[in-house]
Amino acid sequence: MRPELASYAASTETSRGRRFKEAPPRGRSEYQRDRDRIIHSTAFRRLEYKTQVFVNHEGDLFRTRLTHSLEVAQIGRSVARHLALDEDLTEAITLAHDLGHTPFGHTGQDALNACMKPHGGFEHNLQSLRVVDVLEQRYGAFDGLNLTFETREGVLKHCSLKNARQLGDVGERFIRKQRPSLEAQIANLADEIAYNNHDVDDGLRSGLLQMDQLSEVAIFRRHMRAALKEFPHIDGRRLVHETVRRMIDTLVTDLVRQSKACIRDAGPQTLDDVRRAPQMIRFSERIRLEQAELKRFLHTNLYRHYRVCRMSTKARRIVSDLFQAFFAEPQLLPPEFQARAREDTPRAIADYIAGMTDRYAIVEHRRLFAIDVS
Ligand code: MG
């Protein structure tokens, strides 16, 4: 049985609908249809071969953008259910939130943004929206996936005022300084819970982080002690997992409790009330500070680890080499992007590069630059 939803949850009845009118789905809700379209998209399958922190070929057990998105969806659904919000909308947003990511994680995004600076810039959030609105080509009647307004506004986590003015309906809230649905707010924090915790886990698995280093971080130390109190004999991967699962549980529980209190205080009745109110999905102050400490630790010790930096340097070079080569000679682009390039060359190149998986980008770089004389 579907639990009764709160009056301020997003719902099919109050939805602002799709850009192109379609008959209502049978046997599933509008937001379930959004989720299904996202799962069947090409961009979603590509997430399997796109980096979070570790490049895909560095090991089979590290998170990729696909497994990351699934973890975010799991956490998001749990929170949405506890708060009597629409789980399917949260799930659709979480599964789509990283569709616009370039190869090689944040390094790839920064490199592409640098190349695109004179041409309007590149931002992965906007690109995720562009993927679902324009770039997926699967339906006869329209470009993109024609998702509901609520899923699209959730995918567009943030954007500049300049871009917001060009985006029409989904840009409005940035101009009016309003919030998106609670389902979208959940997706945002579920993302944070997922990556902080899996980066700890992957960091330890890779050997770039050590347990004794991590025990300097309050939230990790507290949960490792709790795990050892219950299971004094465990160590290694089992101890890591027992610690990380306790951290995730604490964060989800705290998020639900604090958000319930915020919703009670603000007293929204409708989704429009939610949009006008301050952000209501939030951690308690104590947990927010602990999360900030963990983030700082990961920045210093994992994201700036020399082995991660070496890969980032190569990734940056690959992305900017590819961009320069296509910009100098757009005829090197595959035919479908050449057609797009006739309208806007830099944007067509950015779309092509952003759609690449890590290994495709590496292979494409080799195809364009390796001089094989044998
Ligand atoms: Mg993410």
Tell me the pLDDT tens digit for each residue of 93-105: 999 999 999 999 8
* Å from CA of 69 to ligand 1 middle: 6
Domain ranges of the chain: 29-309, 310-369
pLDDT, tens digit, 9 for 90 and up, residues 119-129: 999 999 999 99
150 neighbors 19 (Cβ within 8 angstroms): no
From the CA of 98, how far away is ligand 1's center (Å)? Answer: 6
Ligand 1 centre distance from Cα of residue 145 (Å): 20
Q: Predicted confidence band at 209 (pLDDT cuts at 50, 70, 90)?
A: very high
List, for residues 352-367, the tens digit of each pLDDT value. Answer: 999 999 999 999 999 9
CB 16 within 8 A of CB 31: no
Give distance in angstroms: CA of 328 to centre of ligand 1: 33
From the list 311, 336, 323, the residue with the least C-alpha distance to 368 is 323
Give the residue among 174, 179, 176, 180 at the shortest CA–CA distance from 152: 180
Tell me which CATH homologous superfamily contains domain 29-309: Hypothetical protein af1432 (1.10.3210.10)
CA 329 to centroid of ligand 1, rounded, Å: 33
Using the mean position of ligand 1's atoms as its centre, give its distance from the Cα of residue 280 in Å.
20
pLDDT score of 133 more than 70: yes
Residue 67 Cα, ligand 1 centroid: separation in angstroms? 10
Query: How far is the centre of ligand 1, averaged over its atoms, from the C-alpha of 3 (Å)?
Result: 27
Condensed to tens digits (0 to 9), the pLDDT of residues 212-257 reads 999 999 999 999 999 999 999 999 999 999 999 999 999 999 999 9
* 373 or 73, which is more confident: 73
CA of 31 to the centre of ligand 1 (A): 20
Spacing, Cα 333 to ligand 1 middle (Å): 29
Centroid of ligand 1 to alpha carbon of 64 (angstroms): 10
CA 193–ligand 1 middle distance (angstroms)? 10
Percent of the chain with pLDDT over 70: 97
**Beta bridge partner(s), residue 64:** 51
pLDDT attached to residue 55: 64
What is the distance in A from the centroid of ligand 1 to the CA of 179?
Answer: 19
pLDDT the model gives residue 374: 61
Q: Where are the alpha helices (DSSP H) in the chain?
A: 30-39, 42-46, 65-82, 87-96, 105-116, 124-130, 149-155, 161-166, 172-176, 182-206, 211-214, 218-230, 236-266, 271-276, 285-298, 306-328, 335-341, 345-354, 358-369
Centre of ligand 1 from the C-alpha of residue 295, in Å: 14
Q: How many residues does the chain have?
A: 374
- Measure 72 CA to ligand 1 centroid, in angstroms: 7
3-class secondary-structure state, position 20: coil
| Model pTM score | 0.95
